[in-house]
Amino acid sequence: MRSTSPLPTVPPAERHRGRRTWFMLIHVGKGLAGILGLVLLYEGARATGILPRDTIPGAHSIATTAVRELLDGSLTTAAGDTLQAWVLGLAAACAVGVPVGMALGASSWADSLAKVTVEFLRPVPAVALVPVAVVSFGLDIIMQVFLVGFACLWPVLIGTRHGVRAIDPLMIDSARMLGLTRRAVLTRVSLPATLPAIATGVRLAASLGVIVAVAAEIVTGSPGLGQYLTQAQQAGDDAAAFASVLMSGLLGLAVNILFVAAEVRVAGWQQHSTEGRR
Amino acid sequence: MTMHETRKAPPKGVPFRPRGRSRVRGLTVVRAVAGMAVFALLLFAWELAGRHDTTGLLPPFSDVAAEMAAILTGERLTTDVLPSVLRALLGFALGSVIGMTAGVVLGWWRRLDPWLRPPVEFLRAVPTPALVPIAVVAFGAGNALRVWVIALGACWPVLLNTMDGLRRVEPGYIDSARVYTSGRTTAVLGRAALPAALPQITSGLRIGLALSLILMVISEMIASSSGLGYLILQSQRLYALTPMYAGVLILACTGWLLTLLFSAAERRALVWFEGMKGRNHA
């Protein structure tokens, strides 16, 4: 997505427009062929018995079940529930992570004070807190929001902190010298300069959030795609179970495309970061 | 270190150290102690809250710590804790190897990209925890399955970052390597491209490690009868809150220790990069 497109560069002249659409079509065609290859690989693994046929349904029945359940609303509701927990959790993580990250990046004393606590809490796998969250919040959506929020907090916080750290001190000094108040430096220099790092952190957090939301639903049975999956499985409806996996994959894909696009918009001017992808 | 400090050029012959390391040593110690004091204060607050808690939902920290010591010295260490950690590490190692291999293929032979990008983007977007219940039904819940699930989850960030990292290697490095080595793909990759992509590969590995731990816990919470994830979930269902918190604390310590080890290894492997970072932006 962010990599250089393998398309040859076509001059934007009018007479080349037809060729460009042709190249685009070939590009899309290759992608569709890739997806088709994946489906064939899956069917091949079923046919040869690598994947057991009795519990793993065929691609056709998964697709028809997915469409049917989407239309009758049961899968749509489940996806909506997961989406809700994810959005609220991510929003909460940003609301806490961005200001705290900026404070830790700007003040080395604040950073030293919080260091041990952050270093200890950050590697805690969010799903390990599922039982704690259930005991404290019950099976409501609050529980899911807490878990998603905890998981999303760290990439956002650490990304913001790194972003503030990486600001060239010269920019701050220049702004101060030009008579900006500390508050103005924060909102007009530090924040815009940190935005790319924040965007990267939020993108990492967003895809982690989907994983944690689905995991929490599977373990606790609170409503969402994870719960839909376990219920379908208990009812012996393997096609529906796979339909929900397909749906969660599409949801994750949509989240990714959205955030990569947003990041390019917000931070397209900036050089690539080494913060990593996920 | 304030933000207003101007950067001084490092003296000749001395490796460049990032800002903040050159601080007076005494102050660094004071700061480290202050950080630990804040953490201790939080634990103390937990202890107080637990002592005065009337709902019975929050056992005091001292009880939890005692329970944790009992678990770590008792037989659960060999039945639950160590197997869990071993599975996570095995899965992480397996996933890293798979991810790096696939990442090199996808990152180096760019013609494959339009064909393979869409299926890869879909597969990596599937939340791995959703595959656990399905895999348990299809293949049965064994040790091997859990390791494979962890590997499957951990491989994606490694794959994507290896791929991206390789593509972003400065073309000049690769051209030079073509001239100065035998020019074979293995030589160019091994001598120039992979080392240059290493910083990004390690950030992928770091994310993979965090995911391995999440998947370890999840795989033990579903259809399992042992492991740390099983321990905490079972304790919660029995309403045994002290062992539950002790299990969470053990998991936290495990994650903390593994991350610490990883960071140490990363620092060793990327000594040269620390110096580069400052110079690139100068």
Looking at 1.10.150.120, 1.10.260.30, 1.10.1060.10, 1.10.3720.10, the CATH number of the domain A59-267 comes to 1.10.3720.10
Q: Rounded to two decimals, what is the model's pTM?
A: 0.84
Is the confidence metric ipTM above 0.90 for this complex? no
Do A131 and B235 count as a contact with CB atoms less than 8 A apart?
Answer: yes
Query: B274 in contact with A at a CB cutoff of 8 Å?
Result: no
Rounded mean pLDDT of B166-185? 85
Residue partners of B122: CB distance under 8 A and separation at least 6:
A35, A38, A249, A250, A253
Give the pLDDT confidence score for residue A3 in this predicted structure: 46
DSSP string, B256-276: HHHHHHHHHHHHHHTHHHHHH
Tokens of B75: 């037989």
Question: Within an 8 Å CB–CB cutoff, is residue B14 touching chain A?
Answer: no
Provide the token pair at A84.
């809700």
Tell me which residue in A170, A244, A276 faces B200 most closely, judged by beta carbons: A276
Tell me what pLDDT residue A23 has. Answer: 86
Provide, as residue numbers in chain B, all residues whose Cβ is less than 8 Å from the Cβ of A260.
none
CATH for B66-272 is 1.10.3720.10
DSSP label at residue A254: H
What is the Cα–Cα distance from B62 to A238, expressed in whole angstroms?
A: 47
| Mean pLDDT value across residues B131-157 | 90
8 Å CB contact between B247 and B235: yes
What is the rounded CA–CA span in Å between residue B138 and residue B144?
13
List C-alpha distances in Å: A52 to A84, A98, A259, B73: 35, 47, 36, 42
Among A4, A215, A244, beta carbon nearest to B218:
A215
Euclidean distance between the first and final Cα of chain B, in Å? 18
Instruction: With beta carbons less than 8 A apart as the criterion, state whether A163 and A105 touch.
Output: yes
With beta carbons under 8 A apart, name residues in chain B contacting A122.
259
Tell whether B222 is within 8 A of chain A (Cβ).
yes
Q: Is B84 exposed, middle or buried (0-12, 13-18, 19+ CB in 10 A)?
A: buried
Task: Judge whether A182 is closer than 8 Å to chain B, CB to CB.
Answer: no
E strand or H helix that includes residue B204: helix B194-221
Helix, strand, coil share (%) of chain A residues, nearest 5: 80, 0, 20
Min Cα–Cα distance to chain B from A235, Å: 13
pLDDT of chain A along its 278 residues, tens only? 444 445 555 555 555 677 888 888 888 899 899 999 999 999 999 888 888 888 888 889 999 999 998 999 889 999 999 999 999 999 999 999 999 999 999 888 899 999 899 999 998 999 999 999 998 888 888 999 999 999 999 999 999 999 998 888 888 889 989 988 888 888 888 888 888 889 889 989 998 999 999 999 999 988 999 999 999 988 988 899 999 999 999 999 998 899 888 888 887 666 554 444 44
Burial classification of residue A185, based on how many CB atoms lie within 10 Å of its CB (0-12 exposed, 13-18 middle, 19 or more buried): buried
Does the beta-carbon distance from B244 to A109 stay under 8 Å? no
Whole-number average pLDDT of chain B: 85
B171, pLDDT greater than 90: no
Q: Label residue B4 exposed, middle or buried (CB < 10 Å: 0-12, 13-18, 19+).
A: exposed
* B158 shares contact with chain A (CB less than 8 Å): no
Q: How confident is the model at residue B275 (pLDDT cuts 50, 70, 90)?
A: low
Find the radius of gyration of the CA atoms of chain B: 23
Contact B156, A278 (CB under 8 A): yes
B181 CA: distance to closest CA in chain A (Å): 27
Query: Which chain B residues are Cβ-neighbours of A82 within 8 angstroms?
Result: none
Task: Say what the pLDDT of residue A211 is.
Answer: 92
Domain ranges of chain A: 1-56, 59-267
Report which secondary-structure segment, H or E, holds B6. none
Q: How far is CA A197 from CA A102, B259, B274, in A?
A: 11, 22, 18
Q: Token pair 């798979």 is at which residue?
A: B98
H helix count then E strand count, chain A? 11, 0
Residue B3 predicted with pLDDT over 70: no
What is the number of residues in chain A? Answer: 278
- Report pLDDT for B281: 41
Chain B residues with beta carbon closer than 8 angstroms to that of A35: 118-119, 122
What CA–CA distance (Å, rounded) separates B107 from A80? Answer: 35
CB contact under 8 Å between B115 and A35, yes or no, is no
Identify the pLDDT of residue B27. Answer: 77
- Residue A96 is predicted with a pLDDT of 96
pLDDT digits (tens, 9 = 90+) for B181-217: 887 888 888 888 888 899 889 999 999 999 999 999 9
